[in-house]
Amino acid sequence: MAKAKQKNPKIEKPTILITNDDGVTAPGIAALVEVAKQYGKVVVVAPDTPQSGMGHAITIGDPLRINSVNLFGPDVEAYQCSGTPVDCVKLAVDVILHKKPDYCFSGINHGSNASINVIYSGTMSAAMEAHIENIPAIGFSYMDYSFDADFSLAQQVANEAIHHMIHGIIPPNGLYNVNIPKIDPKKYKGLKVCRQAHAKYQEKFLERIDPHGKKYYWLTGEFKNLDKSKDTDVYALANNYASIVPVQYDLTDYQLMDKIKL
Amino acid sequence: MAKAKQKNPKIEKPTILITNDDGVTAPGIAALVEVAKQYGKVVVVAPDTPQSGMGHAITIGDPLRINSVNLFGPDVEAYQCSGTPVDCVKLAVDVILHKKPDYCFSGINHGSNASINVIYSGTMSAAMEAHIENIPAIGFSYMDYSFDADFSLAQQVANEAIHHMIHGIIPPNGLYNVNIPKIDPKKYKGLKVCRQAHAKYQEKFLERIDPHGKKYYWLTGEFKNLDKSKDTDVYALANNYASIVPVQYDLTDYQLMDKIKL
C-alpha cells in the first residue's frame, strides 16, 4: 500500500495554473484551458471582472475574495478572485495550491499584447508574476478584440508554444509573450522569435458632458509603431507569423548607466 | 508690443509636471512641489485617491474626471484625477497642458520603490509613461511609509537629482528611479548610480472571516533580496547612499532571445 501511494515524478502530471485579465468568463481563457488540459492538471485562478490594462497592479488597500466556479468541466478546478491578474497568481500560489505550479499560462487575451502593450497588459503581468516566482510562464494574446473571436488559430499556436516549453525547445526558465495574428489559418507561417518593437500610443481623450453638466473623459488612442526593423514582434505579426518575445523584469537601462558619472 | 510678447526660450521657465501614486493630498507630493518650484512653472496632476501598487494600470472601462484643487499655493496650478498615476500623465499631456511638459517628476513616494518594487509602483509607472512620451522623468521614493515622515533629506536628494537633470549631468533623455534612505541626514553619503537589485516578495496572505462567515484575504509579504552585489540599489540604500537607477521599458530578454532556435 505504501508503495502504491508513492509519487512517481516521471508519470505524475504537471500542475498548470491558468489565468488571464479578461476575467474568468471570457472565451479566451476557455480556449487556453482546452489546450493546456492535454499537458497536465489544470487549475484556473482568474479575475471575477475584466481587468484589461491593469498592468502589474496589486491590491494593497482592500481585502480579496476567492470563490469556486464550475465553468470548465469536472476535471478542472477553477476559482474567481476579486483582485487583479497579479493578485490571482499570488493567491493561487499561497492560498489555493499551497505550492508553485509547474507552469503558468495566461490568456488567451482578447486583443494584442505585442510591443509597448506588454507594460499595460494584465495578461503579461500575471505571467511575469509567475516568472518572478521562477514558474515557467507564457502569456498568449490574439489580435481580435471581439467576444465572438474564432480562437482556433490561437489555440494551434498556444499548443505549439506549450509543447516547445514542456519539451525544453524554448528554455522553461523564461517568460514569453506570444501574440497571434488575426489571419486565415492557411496563411500562418509559424512562431517567430522577436524583440519588442519600439512603439507608443498617441492618446486622444474624448470629452463628454454628463447629465449634470460636468465634463468627463474617455481614454482612446492610436498605436504608433516607431520601429521599422524586421526583427520585431509587430513586423512578424504583420507578416503572418505568431511572435514570441522572451521577456524579463530587470528594468535597468545598462547602456545609460555606463554613461553617467556622478 | 509684438516684441515684448515674443518668447525667449532662454529665459522662459520650463513647465514641470508633478504627479504621484499616494494621491494629491499626500505630504510627499507637497515636498516635491516645494523643490521643483525653484526650477520652473509647476503643474500638479495627481490621483484623487491613493493608488499605491497600481503599476502601469490604465483606465479603459470607465470615464475619468478632472477637478481643480488649491493645495500648493497661488503659483501652482493643480488638478486631481479619478484615474491611475499613468492616466494622470496621459490626461496632463492631452487635456490639461495640451503639450508635453519639459520635465515630469513623480513622488515623493511614501515607501521604497527600489529593486522589484519598480514594477508594482504607480509612482515609477507615471514617470515611465512620461518617458515613453520622451519627457525627461524621475521618480522619487523615500523609505518611510508614515504620513508624518520628515521629508527634509528626501527633498535634499530630489533637489540634487533635479539639478543634475536640468544641467545635463544625468542625460535628460533618460528615466530615473531615485530612492532615499531613512537615515540621519548627517550620515548621507551622496547619490549613487546603481542597477536594480534582483529581489522578490515572499507573499503571505492573512485569512480572516467576515461578519457573514465568509473568508477574505489581505496581501502581506516580506521583501527578499536575492542579490548580494555591491552595484545594486538595495546595497547603496543600506550603506547610506541614495540610489539612482536608469530605467527603460524594453522588456525583451536579449540573452534568452539568442539562445532560442525555432
| CB within 8 Å of chain B, chain A residues 27-56 | 50, 52-56
Q: What percent of chain B has pLDDT over 70?
A: 96
Q: What percent of chain B has pLDDT over 90?
A: 89
How many angstroms separate the CA atoms of B190 and B181, rounded?
Answer: 11
Partners of B174 on chain A (C-beta within 8 Å) are: 253, 256
Are A110 and A22 in contact by the 8 Å Cβ rule? The answer is yes
Q: What is the pLDDT of residue A12?
A: 82
- Overall CATH class of domain A13-196+230-259: alpha beta
B256 vs A91, A196, A246: nearest CB: A246
Kindly tell me if the per-residue pLDDT of B119 is higher than 70.
yes
Q: What is the pLDDT of residue A11?
A: 67
Partners of A113 on chain B (C-beta within 8 Å) are: none
pTM of the model: 0.92
Cβ of A247 within 8 Å of Cβ of B248? The answer is: no
Are A262 and B169 in contact by the 8 Å Cβ rule? The answer is yes
Cβ of A63 within 8 Å of Cβ of B217? The answer is: yes
Select from A195, A106, A100 the least CA-distant residue to A142.
A106
pLDDT band at B9 (very low <50, low <70, confident <90, very high): low
End-to-end CA distance of chain B: 69
Are A28 and A36 in contact by the 8 Å Cβ rule? The answer is no
Select from B169, B106, B112 the least CA-distant residue to B135.
B106
Q: Which residue has the cell 497600481?
A: B54
Q: Mean pLDDT for chain B?
A: 94
| CB within 8 Å of chain A, chain B residues 179-238 | 190-193, 195-196, 198, 200, 203-205, 207-208, 214-219
ipTM of the modeled complex: 0.91
Average pLDDT over residues B70-92: 96
Cβ of B205 within 8 Å of Cβ of A91? The answer is: yes
Q: Report the chain A residue with the minimal C-alpha distance to residue B52.
A: A60
Partners of B125 on chain A (C-beta within 8 Å) are: 55, 119
Q: What is the pLDDT of residue A1?
A: 39
Quick check: B12 contacting A, CB < 8 Å? no
Three-state DSSP at B224 gives strand
Sign of CA dihedral B236, B238, B242, B244: positive
Kindly tell me if the per-residue pLDDT of B149 is higher than 90.
yes
Q: What is the pLDDT of residue A8?
A: 55
Q: What is the pLDDT of residue A9?
A: 52
Find the length of chain A: 262
How many angstroms separate the CA atoms of A129 and A132, rounded?
Answer: 5
Q: What is the pLDDT of residue B8?
A: 55
Q: Which CATH superfamily is B13-197+228-259 part of? A: Survival protein SurE-like phosphatase/nucleotidase (3.40.1210.10)
Q: What is the pLDDT of residues A9-33, one digit of tens each?
A: 556 899 999 999 999 999 999 999 9
Distances (CA, A) of B233 to B178, B189, B191, B240, B244: 9, 14, 10, 11, 7
Q: Which residues contact A205 (CB under 8 A, 6 or more apart)?
A: A217, A218, A219, A220, B64, B90, B91, B94, B95
Interstrand relation of A175-180 and A242-247 (parallel, antiparallel or unpaired):
antiparallel
Q: What is the pLDDT of residues B184-214, one digit of tens each?
A: 999 999 999 999 999 999 988 999 999 999 9
DSSP string, A113-150: --TTHHHH-HHHHHHHHHHHTT--EEEEEES---TT--
Distances (CA, A) of B151 to A85, B95, B140, B141, B148: 34, 31, 11, 10, 9
Give the helix ranges, DSSP H, for B205-253.
233-238
Kindly tell me if the per-residue pLDDT of B5 is higher than 90.
no
Distance (Å) from the C-alpha of residue B210 to the closest C-alpha of chain A? 10
Select from A66, A63, A54 the least CA-distant residue to A106.
A54
Query: Which positions of chain A have pLDDT values less than 70?
Result: 1-11
